[in-house]
Amino acid sequence: MVSRRTLIGGGSGLLLGGLAIPLLLGPARDNGQDTGDIGPVCTPTGEGLRVQAVARKEWVPALQAAAIVAGIPAEFLAAQIEAESGWNPQAVSPAGARGLTQFMPGTWEHYGRGADPFDPLAAIEAQGRYLHDLQGAVAGVKGEDPRRLVFAAYNAGPGNVLKYAGIPPFRETRSYVAKIFDLAQRIYSADCAGSGPPELRPGAGTWIHPLPQGRLTSGFGPRPCPTGASCNRWTTFHFGLDFSTGRGRTTGRGATVIAPTPLRITLVQELAPGYGSRIMARCLWAPGYIFDFHHFAVGSMKVRPGQDVEAGTPLGIEGNTGNSTAAHLHFQVIKPESNEQHMIHADTIDPTPILVEKGIV
């Protein structure tokens, strides 16, 4: 982790709580991944931190307190500890990083406040203070989930985040951020709220949530391949949003999926390879986005090609068909100028800012 391991030293840098953090500028890289969907990476079951996933019960209060200091949910701090030390308070890296949260000696001198770096409670407290300062260092960067920026800064340095006005295009950094968000959501969140953009829920705006009882279970963009999934180039970049109600674990049938806007149905496919049971439709409101809904339960789709439907019209039942690991809805948004019969991956856009703008917040 280059940023915190070179905090003390020469060169131009960004002052952070009295420390000079080098800008650490590097070459751009492309992760080269393709689209795919493997289903939700967590199941809505409860609220907050999944306490039973933390290695030691006595560390939970420290995690919760550090999360308040950092301004970041405790799920993320737990995920970062797993990524850094595997919950081993005696861990020492080849570079000399020590303890549960893997601080270098120079950085620990500033954030450890005289404590033993191998003291797990002191390490968690220092983690909270350091993440808080990183958050302040990159606060001026807009248009990206601030939590992703913090962990990108942790890995690549805040100077790189500022230079690229977002997550730097380094494979290592993107992989690091994706790993933390995957662990935070899939392992350490009891309610699927640990990862992805802010929770999306039925709002008072101009659109309706396509799965009103669902929770966001996987966001748009790079993600590690979840445990137990068949991993290939189609599983590590998610070209849509997954929502799940947590139902259908045994039956494969969850809640009703509805039209988020007035739609013209253009495709209804039962058990298409990869997609499962699938509906495509064009929004009848400008600018005319194309929507792609995947993984309906078998035989549950209620519309036909060529049909115009109003917002709120039932489309089908959240299911577990196609390349899916649990009952959920995969919701994809495609550029309005795209050819629905010959789409390419570049035609797909992140639905998150659109849903936020349209009142699904």
Question: Is 273 part of any domain?
Answer: yes
CATH code for the domain of 231 = 2.70.70.10
Give SS3 for 21: strand
Whether omega for the bond prior to residue 287 falls within 30 degrees of 0, making it cis, is: yes
Instruction: Output the pLDDT for position 2.
Output: 38
pLDDT tens per residue, range 308-320? 999 999 999 999 9
Are 163 and 254 within one domain?
Answer: no
Same domain? For 113 and 239 the reply is: no
Domain annotation covers residue 14: yes
Q: What is the pLDDT of residues 153-204, one digit of tens each?
A: 998 889 999 999 999 999 899 889 888 887 887 788 876 655 444 455 555 5
Are 175 and 274 found together in one domain?
Answer: no
**Does the pTM exceed 0.75?**
no
Task: Evaluate whether residue 198 is within a structural domain.
Answer: no
**8 Å CB contact between 48 and 74:** yes
For residue 207, tell me if it sits in a domain.
no
Average predicted confidence (pLDDT) for the chain? 81
- Same domain (yes/no): 254, 303: yes
- Active site members: 84
C-beta separation of 168 from 153 below 8 A: no
Whether 296 and 342 map to the same domain: the answer is yes
Whether residue 191 is contained in a domain is answered as no
* Rg, C-alpha atoms of the chain: 22
Residues 136 and 249 in one domain: no
Place of tokens 């392992």: 187
82 — phi, psi (to 5°)? Answer: -60, -40
* Same-domain status, 267 and 326: yes
pLDDT of residue 40: 65
H-assigned helices in 219-302: none
Same domain membership, residue 258 and residue 182:
no
18 and 121 assigned to the same domain? yes
pLDDT of residue 1 exceeding 90: no
Q: Could you list the beta-strand ranges (E) of 233-313.
A: 237-238, 241-244, 253-258, 263-272, 276-283, 290-296, 308-309
d(CA 297, CA 277): 7
Under a CB-based contact definition with an 8 Å cutoff, are residues 104 and 7 in contact? Answer: yes
Statement to judge: residues 180 and 231 lie in one domain: no
Most confident range, picked from 34-48, 54-68, 135-149, 339-353? 54-68
**Segments forming the whole domain that contains residue 22:** 2-186
170 with 306, same domain: the answer is: no
Q: 361 and 345 in contact (C-beta within 8 Å)? A: no
State pLDDT tens for residues 217-256: 887 877 766 655 666 666 777 888 889 888 877 788 999 9
pLDDT band of 4, cuts 50, 70, 90:
very low
- Predicted local distance difference test score (pLDDT) of residue 227: 57
- Cα separation values, 333 from 55, 94, 172, 240, Å: 39, 45, 28, 7
> Residue 203 falls within a domain, yes or no?
no
Q: What tens digit of pLDDT does each residue of 93-133 get?
A: 999 999 999 999 999 999 999 999 999 999 999 999 999 99
Do 15 and 145 belong to one domain? yes
In three-state secondary structure terms, 75 is helix
3-class DSSP state for residue 311? coil
- pLDDT in the model for residue 50: 81
Q: Is residue 195 a part of any domain in this protein?
A: no
Residues 238 and 330: their CA atoms lie apart, in Å, by: 10
307 domain residue, yes or no: yes
Task: Give the count of domains, the chain.
Answer: 2
Measured in degrees and rounded to the nearest 5, phi and psi for residue 200 equal -105, 125
Q: Which residues of 242-255 are buried (b: 16+ CB within 10 A; e: fewer)?
A: bbbbbbbeeebbbb
Residue 54: give its domain's CATH number.
1.10.530.10
